[in-house]
Chains A and B, each alone.
Chain A
């Protein structure tokens, strides 16, 4: 199973994960010990200890990932699937082993159900432009939800313009949960696809995707799950979920930017036409007619991010060595602690209070615009995100221009929450009692 680690010239970096104190198997993980695996977390920012709470945007990379990518270039670099020489075969092996790692992460039935992409956005676009164009016609319906990221809205709008299909949107409750009764009423004979976010990046809501998939399948619709905010924070099993497509990004999973994958059920993927043409995705090419390679190569035109895939595999090894159950438990404890802590701040209002939530706190502070809050927190070394989080319809739904968002990862702990609370206090002190409402 651990072929990549043993084949990589210096497995010590990956094995090192398993020996890190914070990653000892079983029991509660110790975030401060795991934080030592992430070199960037020890650099000061604006003269302060970096308190990185922008993990929803991207997570930092452990040494194991940085080293895996560096070692690939130093020892294994070659193009894949084409060279007869040893290095090319070696690089191909590493790349395909990385695919196996993604299969293991998602518990897909087969490795060839995994297509490497640049990230969640490209994964969703792949489905829209390959499966969507081949399967949707005028009047067909795509069901989305009111908490989708723009990357799970715009590709479908483009598809609708081309095919005449129409979008239906599941509204949100005031807590930021889906109105599931409305969802069920939107499903019908014209529903071809449901595309739903697993964990909302703007609200932290964890959606009941298994149940939603079951209902969608009952009307013959396919389901895509956007797992960008899920895979690093809880175990995901695509077979147990029963989804048809699952999309995620490597860079939110402690892996390199520009990496990610699409899981698609084998029967669907085998029938899908190409969406980008080029090298590696063909079987034969002539000026009269070309024929396509089998999936997943059919969807991987051109030289892919090979080193990135190797880095992603190292990231997957890293989280699996710690255990996604333990990571989920740690982040849940931190969420509960942070929720209590910020709710004691006068004038602070949480947006998104779903019963099932991941480690994301979206909030507003009376009289302080999120952007000002972001700047003042930054001066304290506390990195958060301010704005609409690429989910403008969520902001419109709640009648606000944006929020401040703190999002947690495995290396955050109570000390980071304390720094956040103290920095918000400073911002309030600075803006004074008479702040404009």
Chain B
């Protein structure tokens, strides 16, 4: 199957379709310690993120909402990636992940499955889709009351 453009396949990898079709951790969380709203007014993406903390470690993360394939898959992959990490580790991962998407990938960092989102690099207008969940998580962890916005 050819889509006529290599970059597009870089962006829409099978893992992304999979997580868009069947997002992981896609549910509300009744016993969440932190809840934050994320909104991308430009494309209407909206998500609510739930986090349960256990002594500075992310014990559980989940989300609900709607958005494009990139933002849905990114939120899904993020909730998987951050479980078991400390708040500091997550903040450091967000910084490196953001660098990965904007073309300055840090050396030696293993992004695991998050690597599939690196194709966003070639589509600068879609970076905000891939980072909405992360901005929202950052707000949830730092307790910033304003909904996260990526525009």
Closest to B11 in A: A375
Bound-complex Cα distance A434 to B18 (A)? 10
Which of chain B's residues have a CB closer than 8 A to the CB of A400? 44
9 contacts between A and B (CB under 8 A): A48-B4, A369-B43, A369-B69, A370-B43, A371-B126, A372-B12, A375-B126, A434-B21, A436-B21
Bound-complex Cα distance A410 to B5 (A)? 29
Which of chain B's residues have a CB closer than 8 A to the CB of A432? 17
* Whole-angstrom distance between the Cβ of B37 and the nearest chain A Cβ: 15
Q: CB distance A379 to B3 under 8 Å?
A: yes
* Whole-angstrom distance between the Cβ of B149 and the nearest chain A Cβ: 14
Which of chain B's residues have a CB closer than 8 A to the CB of A90? none
Q: CB distance A429 to B1 under 8 Å?
A: yes
Tell me which of A371, A380, A387 contacts B4 (CB under 8 A): A380
Closest to A368 in B: B69
Considering the complex, which residues of chain B in the window 65-83 have a beta carbon less than 8 Å from any beta carbon of chain A?
Answer: 66-70, 72
* Whole-angstrom distance between the Cβ of A435 and the nearest chain B Cβ: 7
> Which B residues have a C-beta under 8 Å from some C-beta of A?
1, 3-5, 7-8, 11-12, 17, 20-23, 41-46, 66-70, 72, 123, 126, 129
The 8 A-B residue pairs with the shortest CB-CB distance, nearest first, are: A401-B44, A369-B68, A371-B68, A379-B5, A379-B8, A402-B44, A371-B43, A436-B21
Which of chain B's residues have a CB closer than 8 A to the CB of A70? none
Closest to A402 in B: B44
Closest to B123 in A: A375
Which of chain B's residues have a CB closer than 8 A to the CB of A371? 43, 45, 68, 70, 126, 129
* Whole-angstrom distance between the Cβ of A33 and the nearest chain B Cβ: 28
> Which A residues have a C-beta under 8 Å from some C-beta of B?
46-48, 368-372, 375-376, 379-380, 386-388, 395, 400-402, 426, 429-432, 434-436
Q: CB distance A401 to B5 under 8 Å?
A: no
* Whole-angstrom distance between the Cβ of A51 and the nearest chain B Cβ: 14
* Whole-angstrom distance between the Cβ of A364 and the nearest chain B Cβ: 12
Tell me which of A48, A380, A401, A435 contacts B66 (CB under 8 A): A401
Q: CB distance B43 to A387 under 8 Å?
A: yes
Bound-complex Cα distance A429 to B41 (A)? 28
Q: What 15 additional pairs, Cβ within 8 angstroms, besides A372-B12, A401-B45, A430-B12? A: A46-B5, A369-B67, A370-B68, A371-B45, A371-B70, A375-B126, A379-B8, A380-B4, A380-B5, A429-B1, A430-B8, A432-B17, A435-B20, A436-B20, A436-B22
Which of chain B's residues have a CB closer than 8 A to the CB of A401? 43-46, 66-67
Q: CB distance B43 to A430 under 8 Å?
A: no
Which of chain B's residues have a CB closer than 8 A to the CB of A47? 5
Which of chain A's residues have a CB closer than 8 A to the CB of B1? 429-430
Tell me which of B23, B43, B70 contacts A402 (CB under 8 A): B43
Q: CB distance A395 to B44 under 8 Å?
A: yes
Q: CB distance B70 to A372 under 8 Å?
A: yes
Assuming the A-B contacts A401-B43, A401-B44, A434-B21, are A426 and B3 also in contact, with contact meaning beta carbons closer than 8 angstroms in the complex?
A: yes
* Whole-angstrom distance between the Cβ of A354 and the nearest chain B Cβ: 23
Which of chain B's residues have a CB closer than 8 A to the CB of A430? 1, 3, 8, 12
* Whole-angstrom distance between the Cβ of A434 and the nearest chain B Cβ: 6
Which of chain B's residues have a CB closer than 8 A to the CB of A388? 41, 44
Which of chain B's residues have a CB closer than 8 A to the CB of A387? 42-44
Which of chain A's residues have a CB closer than 8 A to the CB of B21? 434-436
Closest to B8 in A: A379
Closest to B22 in A: A436
* Whole-angstrom distance between the Cβ of B73 and the nearest chain A Cβ: 10
Closest to B14 in A: A432
Tell me which of B5, B17, B23, B45 contacts A431 (CB under 8 A): B17
Which of chain A's residues have a CB closer than 8 A to the CB of B23? 436
